[in-house]
Structure 1
Amino acid sequence: MMALLSFWSFILVGCFAVSLAGASSLSELYPALWEESPGQFSDFKVENNVYIINPWAYLDRMGMYKILLNNTARYFEKFGPENEQNILWGLPLQYSWQHKTGRLADPSKRTSCGYESGDPLCISVDSWWADVNYFLGALPFLAAVDSGILGVSPDQVKLLPPPKDQMKFCYDVSSCLLSFPEKMTKWNLFYQYMQSPSSNFDGLLKHLWDAHSASLENTGDRFKDRYAYYSKPEEEFGKNWTLIVEYLAASRFPTTMIRVHEAQKGLPPRILLDTDVAPFISDFTSLQNTLLSGVNIVSSTHKLTGSSSLTLWKLLMNTQLARRVIVEIVDRFLFIVN
């Protein structure tokens, strides 16, 4: 089992090498257009005392994350200054990466949604990435509204639907609780634990990853018809990325601002093409090639073992000591890659 731990440590370290050397200002690490995004409910349109949010517009969806980060900051003060240790940073930073790499744009190219030549801040409902991200944006946000930590009542917030496939999504607290009760429950449990005076960092990570994993469960398959718009490598990367999340969830990887920001330097900087074969993609950095290769190795091993590799990984990650070792290895890997 120790050999297996070492193997997966090497792979995950390759995938998620991070630097703990902070930037001169944490604001340099903010997601794209963070400052321009709404930071309070009054920044949104109001109709009949209901805040109307368009999650198919980049700034509005980012604004949901910004309100969430702002209103949960007080619960993470005991772990570090300037809200840097808030483990919800992983959500807007992933969303920002998807935007910057073109993954939120219309992959069919039948519209100009998401493209510089058209509406660069439009989020396409035809994007597999955008649809899956919806469940990591709308659900944690509306569950936070439901928990009371955002200061508005559940009937005061309404999300606008996309131009098609409206039945695949939910748009307010009541409809999300009805359509996706298990996913919403996991987020509510996270917020309940977060507000507990006895909450600790490891416990917060457990509840966060439980909610994150629940949000993704069967969600990718819900939008599998979108795969037709992508190259085979991009399709596989999307599927494999949701698998990697399961391994990260088991290790309770700390999704704090600096760690996630630095880890994302290893993510593909653009949508993958049919000609892309890692680790030989010429316009990718060595870290990006390493990450993509590592993701492919984890996926192949997972398939070959009939998912028993994930079962073993979860068993190994059952102790806080093992999880701490993984984080320490990841942190120290910087000195190897740099």
Structure 2
Amino acid sequence: MNFLAAVESGFLRDMPYKIEFLSGEERRSDFCYSIEECRRAYPQAMDVAKRFYQYMQSRMTLSKVGTIPIINRDDTTVIKYMWDAHRAAVDVAKPKFNDISEYSSATERDFTMDFLSAFEFCEAAEYRPYFGSTVEILLGFPHRPLTDQDANILAPDFNLYEKAHLTSIRTLSRVNKMTGGLLLTLWKKLMSLSEVNKAFGRFLIKRLFLIPDF
């Protein structure tokens, strides 16, 4: 969907290749294979993604590293628009995940939903999705699918970062559920008050959630 929004916006207008999406027989209705299909099915999500790519196009190119343009951009606006597009896509995908999650263990399903819940805290703080900070997230991401045996006691093949990451995500999600979502609501309110609060929120996420020290 985001790829098609990029095409619609003209962001990928210089691509020298012709791309064709081939639909499969199974779960055909879960996907869209053209701009027109996505527009009919998910107009709001397409609008949000298109806004991101249009903003990127509106910025002046300062230079190039090889074929990669270096753009004069407002990082705060870019990141906000990127997170908005991410949230719109997640909102579209979550109901579809519920339909196919029966193929995973209950523990894996719970972790997926907990992870998406935890990421709402990152979105509210407009966490910087740069290469380094993305690596920090993936550093603790489990190296294999979770099984039901991992529900209460994590297996010894998980390293300390993975255990800390899984525990942090699970705890944050459970506390938010226990408060009926009030924790996330208050966090979003606090983050919306100022850029200073967002910076502090990113600091907390980095120190206490993403890359715990040992």
- Please name the residue that 2:196 is paired with: 321
Cα distance, 1:196 vs structure 2: 3.0
Tell me which amino acid in the other structure corresponds to 1:175: E
Q: Which of 8, 23, 27 is matched with 1:161 structurally?
A: 23
Does the CA-based 8 Å contact 2:23-2:33 persist in structure 1? Answer: yes
Q: Tell me if 1:147 matches 2:9.
A: yes
Query: Partners in 2 of 1:151 and 1:308 — Cα distance?
Result: 44
- Please name the residue that 1:249 is paired with: 123
- Please name the residue that 1:7 is paired with: none
> Mind listing any 5+ residue stretches in structure 2 that lack a counterpart?
60-71
Q: Tell me if 1:186 matches 2:48.
A: yes
- Please name the residue that 1:312 is paired with: 186
Does the CA-based 8 Å contact 1:206-1:252 persist in structure 2? Answer: yes
> Match of 2:11, SS?
coil
Query: Which has a greater percent of helix?
Result: 2
Query: Partners in 2 of 1:336 and 1:244 — Cα distance?
Result: 16
Does the CA-based 8 Å contact 2:122-2:202 persist in structure 1? Answer: no
Query: Equivalent residues in 2 for 1:60-139 (5 A)?
Result: 139=1
> Match of 2:49, SS?
helix
Tell me which amino acid in the other structure corresponds to 1:193: Y
Q: Tell me if 1:282 matches 2:192.
A: no
> Match of 1:322, SS?
helix
Q: Tell me if 1:337 matches 2:195.
A: no
Query: Partners in 2 of 1:178 and 1:152 — Cα distance?
Result: 26
Does the CA-based 8 Å contact 1:266-1:287 persist in structure 2? Answer: yes
Per the normalisation by structure 2, the TM-score is: 0.83
Cα distance, 1:298 vs structure 2: 1.6
- Please name the residue that 2:69 is paired with: none
Q: Tell me if 1:212 matches 2:86.
A: yes
Cα distance, 1:240 vs structure 2: 1.4
Cα distance, 1:330 vs structure 2: 5.1
Identity of aligned residues (%): 30
**Count of residue correspondences:** 198
Tell me which amino acid in the other structure corresponds to 2:131: M
Query: Partners in 2 of 1:330 and 1:176 — Cα distance?
Result: 34
Cα distance, 1:162 vs structure 2: 2.5
Query: 1:172-213, CA deviations, whole angstroms, 9 ceiling, x for partnerless residues?
Result: 111111111111110011112223338410111111101100
Cα distance, 1:306 vs structure 2: 1.3
> Mind listing any 5+ residue stretches in structure 1 that lack a counterpart?
1-138
Q: Which moved more, 1:320-329 or 1:229-238?
A: 320-329
Deviating beyond 4 angstroms after TM superposition, the runs of 4 or more aligned structure 1 residues are 329-336
Query: 1:10-54, CA deviations, whole angstroms, 9 ceiling, x for partnerless residues?
Result: xxxxxxxxxxxxxxxxxxxxxxxxxxxxxxxxxxxxxxxxxxxxx
